[in-house]
Chain A
């Protein structure tokens, strides 16, 4: 897109290689460049410094942490004992496995359901699509209450099952609308030509529409995956069995362990409860474990990001 805008002449191309500036723009002043550099450095630091502190603290010894009075910025030693602690208990390993399962299974289920619904709703004339879409959009306005949701999940016998972490949030209407808008931009002529060749709706979807929609599927898939990986509230509500906790639920129990419950007007003494809270290093080690998967996946999907979301958003 930028190549088209900047013209085709050899001179212009040569200039473009030196600078991304448009021909009519003034060269930046030194002060401007410095200011820009400072602002960007600060922004990057705002993102990286906390990550750095988490990583260094997770590898610090207890004495280093207590001397620093909290998060450690300057590493004094590398002490892997926090990681040894969390992986020796079995709970973190199991929770990572459950979260992975929920994320993979949930993302698959969500994508299949969302794509099918979006495709149906994107075809004018499909049965009841006006009513259905209205029904979907209504959930933007009216959120089912905590108790009704709980009743439905327990009524379906999903309590203490990993499906209770997947089905209640299987379709995000926002993602549905994004994909539907994308599908509506697929030229009707393409679909018609496929139908003339004898393709049915499923065939059209699988062979024509989906290959053209890789970008949006990737992005929505990432939305879903990150959502499933980060979700913990459904686990708070629906999972009683401590062995079935996903990683975020476990992370929360580590991070908040040992804090006095916040009660208006009194600090509550909890006899016997706060005797052995996990060290800050252990808490931070759990944070590292929960953050890593998102950090790994993100760069792979990032290139689809702008295209996938912008297309769906502006051409709806």
Chain B
């Protein structure tokens, strides 16, 4: 045997001593344990009453009458770009304070920073205070956020996507320790000082409350539905086919259009939409006895699973989707290699506008929603805001006021000069006008704009017609208006849930097992086993947690 190298040997006691030292250092450090879902986190829920009492009084700020008025969570629609704009903010928001560091997520190449970016210079001149945005990659935002929260190192304005916030354990502790309580600034009529923040929908504000206090300015969603099932209306029409009205017709259509020899398959990912067609809830629904039923316990889920597994088994799903999670279904759809796939409705306008330039016949449409075997379909969705903007704690009331005035400017509605400057930059530099008056970004505009002000300010969402997608606004709002009645009622609307750690931990492993069943690696009959494991490993704990949250709120 080779002698061990000098120094490498040690005895058990010295190792333990060292480890003990390490543990003590960890406990003593001034870090928040907000890095990941800790084992043992039991979750928490804030009551709806406590939330309602701290919300700003909602005052709509409509500068322009919409052509298609939205209702509830559906945005207003405009079929033309206004010829004249109004000044929404007359007083400069900046009070000459020091530069404001912000951080917000961005999914794309980062635009140039202050000093080399004429768009930032133009907006900052109007604000009267320098905003210095740092755009961080949206896909790794959680890592960055965890490190920053743990180290208590946050910028003055921090924008965080709702799904990242949901991943941080004990976020309500972090919020209290790091961010300014905005309740006194924005509660009730106090919000009138910031009219465009007061105009943000109440449904979005409800989610910005932690521990009964208002901690963030929300960035409302521009459409509450989680998914739509997009199909290539142009290709179906060319093949003389019509949109299916039942699962059987959907399967039959899939069989007719799939042609592996031509590299064409009917479907990409569709499972979440199939569940909705079959009338399955997103997560929980109420049983007649008042208790909660998880979707795995709903026979509709089993039926949707069986149906979708059959689509896979019959070879109607594109092999890229079968093989991986990361299939670029957008590309496949644009190329006509798949005819249907599910995506957020936010993908619609960008893809339509881009592809129609090369393929004028390109027409993507959400498939009309239908039910299975006489059952009503449901549509998943919520009014949860896309982002929250937090203000760093301890800046003093005057500075907080200045920051809120800046956010108010950033929330200026459609039809104002502020909106145009924020969304498109300076005319002639960052955009030109098309014949109908709507702005068309220039190369410089595309390079320099990165939603630096949009993502921190919230805004009342609107849908505006643009030249390259003339029918989009009508189609989009039409789809919403037709289906909004089917949207599942959120049992927990207005209750702030921080889910127990065990619950969060079982989601992914269970999703993986369901994926295996869909792809035929496990028989459909295994669902019973998967359900049993799910309930044992945290599902029941989750049920108890959710039932308690409802009971506490008298629901």
Spell out A's residues near B (CB within 8 Å): 62-63, 65-70, 89-91, 121, 124, 129-134, 137-138, 142, 145-151, 154, 184, 233, 236-237, 240-243, 245, 249-250, 252-254, 256-261, 263-278, 280, 316
Contact = CB atoms under 8 A, between A and B. Distances in A.
B29 interface: yes
Contacts of B10: 134
A145 B35 CA distance: 10
A305 B138 CA distance: 39
A271 B460 CA distance: 12
Nearest to A271: B222
Contacts of A151: 29, 31, 150-151
B498 interface: no
Contacts of A264: 507-508, 511
B358 A63 contact: yes
A274 B105 CA distance: 12
B6 A130 contact: yes
A266 B380 contact: yes
B332 to A, nearest CB: 5
Interface stretch (B86-94, B235-243, B335-343): B335-343
B163 A263 contact: yes
A241 B134 contact: yes
B347 A271 contact: no
B474 interface: no
Contact of B146 (A69, A147, A275, A276): A147
A150 B110 contact: no
Given A69-B331, A69-B336, A258-B107, A269 B148 contact: no
Interface in B309-360: 328, 330-332, 334-337, 342-347, 349-350, 353, 355, 358-359
Interface in B1-25: 5-10, 18-19, 22
Contacts of B222: 269, 271
Interface residues of B, number: 81
A274 B328 contact: no
Given A63-B358, A124-B6, A269 B345 contact: yes
B112 A146 contact: no
Interface stretch (B47-55, B185-193, B398-406, B446-454): B446-454
Closest 3 CB pairs of A and B: A269-B346, A69-B335, A147-B150
A258 B108 contact: yes
A162 to B, nearest CB: 16
6 contacts: A66-B359, A130-B9, A147-B150, A150-B151, A151-B31, A269-B345
A240 B151 CA distance: 15
B133 to A, nearest CB: 9
B454 to A, nearest CB: 6
Nearest to A278: B109
B447 to A, nearest CB: 6
Contacts of B136: 236, 240
B532 interface: no
A249 B137 contact: yes
Contacts of B7: 121, 129-134
Contacts of B144: 236-237
B492 interface: no
Contacts of A146: 35, 143, 146-147, 150
B6 to A, nearest CB: 6
Given A147-B35, A271-B346, A243 B137 contact: no
A256 B35 contact: no
Contacts of A133: 5-8
B226 A267 contact: yes
Contact of A66 (B143, B334, B349): B334
B344 A260 contact: yes
B347 A274 contact: yes
B135 interface: yes
Which of A121, A259, A276 neighbours the largest number of chain B CB atoms within 10 Å of its CB? A276
A70 B134 CA distance: 32
A245 B110 contact: yes
A148 B29 contact: yes
Given A121-B7, A271-B386, A237 B107 contact: no
Given A62-B358, A145-B26, A253-B106, 8 more contacts: A66-B334, A150-B153, A237-B147, A260-B343, A267-B226, A270-B346, A271-B222, A276-B441
A69 B334 contact: yes
Contacts of B461: 271
A91 B112 contact: yes
B481 to A, nearest CB: 17
B282 interface: yes
Contacts of B472: none
Contact of A267 (B108, B343, B441): B343
B434 interface: no
A147 B147 contact: yes
Contacts of B508: 264
B385 to A, nearest CB: 11
B137 A252 contact: yes
A91 B109 contact: yes
Contacts of B6: 124, 129-130, 133
B283 to A, nearest CB: 7
B138 A261 contact: yes
Interface string B207-225: 0000000000000011100
A132 B5 CA distance: 13
B123 interface: no
Contact of B107 (A66, A249, A273): A273
